[in-house]
Homo-oligomer: A and B are copies of this chain.
Amino acid sequence: MEHTLPHTISLLSRTPAALDALLRDLPEAWTLRNEGENSWSAFDVVGHLIHGERTDWIPRARIILQFGETKAFEAFDRWAQERESQGKSLGQLLDEFARLRSENLGELHALNLRQADLERRGRHPALGPVTLSQLLATWATHDLTHIHQISRIMAHQYREAVGPWNAYLGVLQCAGHSAP
């Protein structure tokens, strides 16, 4: 389907509560384990989502609106959460994600974007020209990619426990397309 701002906002506004319902107060055996070397735990993923709220989506939207294609976005640090999540609990990260997302949706609303704005182009440092519409659709789809990843990371912890049902569970066949 075409990108529309109301559809994007409807998804973006639900992700923090969905992750909260899934992850808060789960045993750490589910939330702190990863899929092996250089992979992320659910805890790491929530930290990554927080870093995106701070440095990626709204800041990039502002760059497009202010500079168009004349200024490329800053590259995104995919490992920032290693520093930034240190010493925090998963509950604190979930609270922080919900607060930042809510603030950013407020900022998005305040931009009062029209169709002509959504068609404006910016410049991604690796991908080249992209539109504001594509950036906002990617914000929502990026949430989904990480819900997809979290379900896969957690399922991995029961890979042996399910025994022969392994063959029937799609999530256990997933090769981790978003792994670093």
Which residues from B are CB-within-8-Å of A22? 14-15, 17-18, 147
Binds B, one of A80-88, A108-116, A168-176: A168-176
Alpha-carbon gap, A120 to B119, bound state (A): 61
Q: Which of under 10, 10 to 19, 20 to 34, or 35 or more describes the interface residues of A?
A: 35 or more
Q: Chain A: residues with CB nearer than 8 A to chain B?
A: 1-3, 6-7, 10-11, 14-15, 17-23, 26-27, 29-30, 33, 124, 127-128, 130-131, 133-135, 137-138, 140-142, 144-145, 147-149, 151-152, 154-155, 157-158, 160-165, 167-174, 176-179
Q: Which 4 A-B residue pairings sit nearest by Cβ, starting from the closest?
A: A170-B178, A170-B177, A134-B163, A137-B161
